[in-house]
A and B are shown apart, each in its own frame.
Chain A
Amino acid sequence: MNQQRRSVLKYSAVFGLMASAGLISLAQAQEWNKAAFEGKGLDDVFKILGAGSPDKSAAITLNAPDIAENGAVVPVGITTTLKADQMAILVEKNPSALAAQFFIPAGTESFVTTRIKMGQTSNVYALVKADGKWSMAVKEVKVTLGGCGG
């Protein structure tokens, strides 16, 4: 066995180990993805995430209310039967579309719920990356004016 081959093996072994321990996605996860969060429109964010133009998938459920009593707190949950390793929540009409992104290690369910702000009635997108491919679910959430303030 020559020297070169051995070191290649060693390298790939290390890489494999890192990947299996989730270290690569960890490095990615711990560095805030400034470009993605500053992307304005949906397409900008899709591109930065490497999602291209994701297909809609019936395997993804976007759990959000039809009407939000207040745009300051809109509950949004994503569940999928796919084996997700990343999830993202996007709001089409927000100043910056991407609201939150999640990295899901093995052993964690393909499910996450959080709360987001919406400036106005808009489509909300749940993006899921599974087996290296992004897909999505879409739902319109109506934001109503409430209280006496108008």
Chain B
Amino acid sequence: MLFQLAAAAAPKTFWVKGQMVPFIFLMVVLAFVYFFISRAKAGMPVPPIRKINGLEAIDEAVGRATEMGRPVHTTSGLGYVSTPSTFAFWAILAHVAKLCAKYDTRLINTNNDYQVLTVNEEIIKQSYLEAGRPDAFNADDVRYLSGWQFTYTAACLGIFQREKIAANIMIGHFMAEAMLLAEGAHNAGAVQIAGTLSTFQLPWFITACDYTLIGEEIFAAGAYVSREPVLVGSVIGQDMVRILVFVLIFVGTILQNVQAKNVLADFLRR
């Protein structure tokens, strides 16, 4: 049956139209990233990463919360379990949870999605275990606040005020609630570090938060705070891809200006 289907499809192209070049491109991106991850893991020399503003602030913010004896709040916003910016949050959550475990500071994690909740709980539990404080993990502080954007926001606003959070770390996929959470946490007296890919929400974070990670910096953040070779290698691989994109744009623009038909654009469009 499968063979028949395949045979019938054979005269057509192998790829869905317009998917071949994207696939090749994806493979090139992944190859770059994989190459540098392997290098970094094997301990071979890799270029250093520049400082990212706002990341030391995570440690400072947790430290401040510890001194004040007030909790730290983290959230990945509205992202689903299948959203890449949620993946970025997880790397940072692991770091923050370990810090909180070490300093014995209360960590509150709120969630808008029950699938993300399950993963977050797992990560926090594991981080407390690795920090040698499994007893300090409190499952009641990993909270599901309904899957509705503004119900979630209202519940967060209430928690910020009542629990008097001292630090608010928001990394992930945010939408309209971004500003409500940021200003709400500010009113509760929290230091804030925020980051998102969403270009709609970055302006609000820049305005209301103390430190903002812009776009891809959230993916580099995990590497920077943890210094784990895999993550560092990955960030360098990403940078190589960025250089590739940069070169592509440069070459493409030159071709566009000297050629009547841009061969590069035609190839990429295939």
Do A and B associate with each other? Answer: no
